Amino acid sequence: MRNLESNLNYFKSLLQPSTKIMVMVKAYSYGMGTFEIANLLEKNNVDYLGVANTFEGAELRNVGIGLPIMVMNPEVESFDLVIKHQLNPVIFSLKSLNVFLKYIETNQHLLPIKPYPINIKIETGMNRLGFNIRDLEKVAEEIKSHPLVFVESVFSHLSAADESQFDDFTNQQIQLFHQSAKKFCSTFDYPILKHLLNSHGIVRFNNAQFDMVRLGIGIYGFSSDKETQQNLLPVSTLTSKISQFKTIPKGDTVGYGRAGKATKELSIATIPLGYADGLNRRLSNGNWSMMVNGKKAPIIGNICMDMLMLDVTGIECKAGDNVVVFGKDNTIVEMAEKLETIPYEILTTISPRVNRIFSYN
């Protein structure tokens, strides 16, 4: 947890002192945990937490988190929970705007604060969520005619901030956002926060901080920028323990489909982790190695649902010994490369049944 704090402080050092910080804690804080991470961020005085859906926001409220929580994609069916838990919804389409305004009008007595804050997302090139720029004038007028809501922020999202071959495109997104947000905000007579940058954006387009940034993967210890990566500390390791140790003769096979073959006498360690724990089955048959007492032991045979076997031949070990699934010597970045994906997916697919242990030392 100290490392997470250190990463937060590193990103703070890249920002103007006045720039606000939203930390994205969607998907169980990128797989790390709900309460513990949000609680630490609250203690560190970040300005906002960001989640994907209403359920995630409600979960944070239920464990006592009081920070403002912005919900990126609140389903129209969940607006009652948005209000109940005092979550800050993102409105990205005329439909969501109209449904929300209607909900607010008919449920005035339920509003914990008046006027109620909403956040407007503008489409600038990601083509995921957001108002088309040509609709913004209409949106502004509509909102102005409803005194029960106010715009707390207006934002957009970069689609390739970490890829230099698309820097022209990113700069175009920045310009589009700058112009359209300015025009939109000029309709209102109160200040509205503007925000655009994700983690990569903070590192590579530092001059587009606007009023706030939305920090995600970086705080969890990852950056595709080499220099930034060197300044970040690792936040998570996954460990397990050997359930059983055995020696098998030449000619035996290991696991389902007899996929693991003993071409000589082998030592085998069974580990209580499988694909149901989020360990991708494509890591089977030597495609990943775990650290056993400081040495690399490859996975032998197919990964099972709840278990896998390691070839620990030549490694001194016994039942009960620790195993590092990923850590400093076999990193998440390497695992992501093996699986042709990104660290985000590795982190967020570790299943909830894997116990998260938090230490602060």
Ligand X SMILES: *Cc1c(COP(=O)(O)O)cnc(C)c1O
**Residues designated as active site:** 26, 256
User: Shortest approach of ligand X to residue 162 CB, angstroms?
Assistant: 8
Residue 124 binding ligand X, by CB under 6 A: no
Rounded to 10 degrees, the C-alpha dihedral 113/73/41/118 comes to -30
Site map (CB under 6 A) of ligand X, residues 150-189, x = contact: -------x--------------------------------
Sequence-distant (6+) residues with CB within 8 A of 171 are: 205
Look up residue 80 and give its two tokens.
Answer: 């009652």
Q: Which one among 124, 198, 223, 285 touches ligand X, defined by CB under 6 A?
A: 198
Instruction: State how far the alpha carbon of 319 is from the alpha carbons of 215, 270, 279, 284, 336, in Å.
Output: 41, 9, 21, 21, 29
The region of 41-49, 165-173, 194-202, 296-304 touching ligand X under the rule CB under 6 A is 194-202
Work out how close the CB of 223 gets to ligand X at its nearest, in angstroms, rounded to a whole number.
9
Q: Contact at 8 Å (CB) between 158 and 126?
A: yes
| By CB under 6 A, residue 194 contacts ligand X | no
Instruction: Using CB under 6 A, pick the residue from 119, 199, 228, 289 that binds ligand X.
Output: 199
* CA dist 171 → 128, 143, 165, 168, 359 (Å): 18, 29, 12, 5, 40
Binding span for ligand X by CB under 6 A among 168-176, 210-218, 248-256, 348-356: 210-218
- Residue 305 is labelled as binding a ligand: yes
Which residue's CB comes closest to ligand X?
216
Cβ distance to ligand X smaller for residue 199 or 228: 199
Give the contact letters, 218-237, x = binds to ligand X (CB under 6 A), - = no: x-------------------
Q: Is 128 annotated as a binding residue?
A: yes
Q: Which of residues 279-338 bind ligand X (CB under 6 A)?
A: none
Q: How wide is the angle at C-alpha 181 spanned by C-alphas 178 and 183, nearest 5°?
A: 105
Examine residue 72 and tell whether it contacts ligand X (CB under 6 A).
yes
Q: Smallest distance, Å, CB 222 to ligand X?
A: 8
For ligand X, which residue of 71, 214, 271, 290 counts as binding (CB under 6 A)? 214
Binding residue for ligand X (CB under 6 A) from 217, 290, 292, 350? Answer: 217
Shortest distance in whole angstroms from residue 126 CB to ligand X: 9
Q: Which is nearer to ligand X, 122 or 217 (CB)?
A: 217
> How far is Cα 312 from Cα 303, in angstroms, rounded to an integer?
16
**Shortest separation between residue 28's beta carbon and ligand X, angstroms:** 13
Binding residues for substrate: 128, 305
Binding residues: 128, 305
Query: Which residues lie near ligand X (CB under 6 A)?
Result: 24, 72, 157, 198-200, 214-218
